[in-house]
């Protein structure tokens, strides 16, 4: 149900915040055994927060978030609630503080239903690397929900929350949103504070939103954006009021179609659906412009070098000494650290740490990491050139729809190449939104992505909303 509809129902006393929260908690208890979208469900604290929210509603001082039940990805710190990153390393970690976004949710009297499942330390594209078991797609439980924010997308798709917070390092909000038939927004880098987000790759990570519609992502973004003195990478350019252009005339816009995104490797059904979406915008009066992003062929390589190098650095703190799992094996300091990391991290996390350390080694730094940063600079320049003549860019979100569980997880190269259409946005620090544009012959959602200029989420949301208003979206049936 749309967030504005829930807001109206709560404010008109058609339903209480406690009743609404209990409805979601009961549905989680009934349905989540099938999809495993939550790691931790906050039954007691959610009811307590709902009671407090109801007092605010009764006083007539409710905000857009008051009493709205949401889920939070399990790499975002929540005071007094386990934050595991879906890893054995942090299985019992309970943060003593809230991440900035969690604090903003609580200050606005939102109700946090629980922490959602994910790929371990956000490293993966299928949500199958979780220590707590993989997540399943609500449209077909034999298929993956995408990753790493697969639990967030699945929880929204299965109506186990009204909206969700996720994190997006290389497409981790948009790709699962595409696979699960919902809408995922990755804001401009620096729009939302990362303070309290357990880092994967600091120059790429951005907290994003998964919801039922573009307009709903705008409502959530309005509550979590903004400069944060605790995060030096946040920007004061973010202005809020992200739904102010919803319903406005978009017929004067120019939409770029990068030819490189429609070549080999793209599923025919996905290609047809996204090009049909382009025709929809053309009929509205938008000008469709063919553009080029030559660096796309190097994007995946650059992304994995940069992200793995930063991950190797960020995850060095998990050593069994400061915090995290401590091994019972080891006769000396070095053995203790080695065994703690060996036991605590899963295979994919170890693979990325090894890749990152290799890329940063003396003798390889210039050949790999430095060249990856050059590609980042070139990608930014190519996007800047496109945006000189276009307002937004339309691409597929992923080369395929959701695939069968076990089909790609044992082939890292194939998994990494599946990120080709999403990673450029993170490398360039741009905003992007994914929404459903069709369904394949198996009934699985097909996602399209709209990429915008820096800090122009308003236009993205308006353009995406216009398509959604005329598109008949199907609901997952569990």
Q: What pLDDT band is residue 478 in, cutting at 50, 70 and 90?
A: confident
The catalytic residues are: 73, 148, 172
Spacing of C-alpha 213 from chain mean position: 14
pLDDT of 417 higher than 90: no
Domains along the chain with CATH numbers:
3-241 (3.90.1300.10)
For residue 267, what are the β-bridge partners? none
Q: How many CA atoms lie within 13 A of 175 on its CB side?
A: 35
Q: What pLDDT band is residue 365 in, cutting at 50, 70 and 90?
A: confident
50-72: pLDDT as tens digits = 999 999 999 999 989 999 999 99
What is the predicted pLDDT for the residue at 174?
Answer: 98
**Predicted TM-score (pTM) above 0.95:** yes
171-224: pLDDT as tens digits = 999 999 999 999 999 999 999 999 999 999 999 999 999 999 999 999 999 999
- From the list 156, 149, 186, the residue with the least C-alpha distance to 74 is 149
d(CA 192, CA 188): 8
Cβ atoms of residues 289 and 390 within 8 Å: yes
């Amino acid at each position: 149900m749309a967030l504005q509809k829930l807001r109206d129902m709560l404010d008109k006393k058609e339903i209480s915040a406690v009743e609404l929260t209990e409805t979601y908690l009961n549905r989680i208890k009934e349905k989540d055994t099938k999809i495993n979208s939550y790691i931790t469900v906050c039954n007691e604290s959610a009811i307590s927060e709902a009671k407090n929210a109801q007092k605010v509603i009764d006083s007539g001082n409710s905000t857009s978030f008051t009493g709205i039940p949401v889920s939070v990805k399990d790499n975002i710190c929540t005071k007094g609630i386990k934050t595991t990153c879906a890893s054995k390393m942090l299985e019992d970690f309970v943060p003593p503080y809230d991440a900035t976004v969690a604090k903003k949710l609580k200050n606005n009297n939102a109700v946090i239903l629980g922490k959602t499942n994910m790929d371990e330390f956000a490293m993966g594209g299928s949500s199958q690397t979780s220590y707590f078991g993989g997540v399943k797609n609500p449209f077909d439980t034999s298929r993956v929900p995408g990753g790493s924010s697969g639990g967030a997308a699945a929880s929204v798709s299965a109506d186990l929350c009204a909206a969700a917070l996720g994190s997006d390092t290389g497409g981790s909000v948009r790709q699962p949103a595409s696979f699960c038939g919902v809408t995922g927004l990755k804001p401009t880098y620096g729009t939302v504070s990362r303070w309290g987000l357990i880092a994967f790759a600091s120059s790429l990570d951005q907290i994003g939103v998964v919801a039922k519609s573009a307009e709903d992502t705008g409502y959530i973004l309005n509550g979590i954006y903004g400069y944060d003195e605790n995060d030096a990478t946040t920007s004061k350019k973010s202005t809020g009021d992200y739904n102010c252009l919803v319903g406005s005339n978009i017929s004067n816009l120019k939409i770029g179609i990068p030819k490189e995104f429609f070549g080999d490797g793209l599923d025919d059904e996905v290609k047809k659906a996204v090009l049909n979406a382009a025709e929809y915008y053309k009929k509205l009066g938008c000008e469709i412009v063919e553009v080029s992003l030559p660096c796309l062929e190097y994007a995946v390589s650059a992304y994995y070098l940069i992200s793995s190098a930063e991950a190797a650095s960020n995850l060095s703190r998990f050593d069994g000494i400061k915090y995290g799992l401590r091994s019972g094996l080891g006769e000396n300091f070095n053995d203790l650290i080695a065994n703690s990391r060996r036991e605590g991290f899963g295979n994919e996390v170890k693979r990325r740490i090894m890749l990152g350390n290799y890329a940063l080694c003396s003798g390889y730094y210039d050949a790999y990491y430095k060249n990856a940063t050059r590609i980042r600079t070139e990608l930014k320049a190519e996007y800047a050139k496109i945006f000189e003549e276009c307002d937004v860019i339309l691409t597929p979100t992923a080369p395929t729809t959701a695939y069968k569980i076990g089909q790609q997880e044992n082939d890292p190269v194939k998994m990494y190449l599946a990120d080709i259409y999403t990673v450029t946005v993170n490398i360039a620090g741009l905003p992007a939104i994914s929404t459903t544009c069709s369904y394949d012959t198996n009934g699985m959602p097909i996602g399209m992505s709209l990429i915008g200029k820096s800090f122009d989420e308003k236009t993205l949301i308006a353009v995406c909303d216009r398509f959604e208003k005329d598109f008949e979206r199907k609901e997952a049936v569990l």
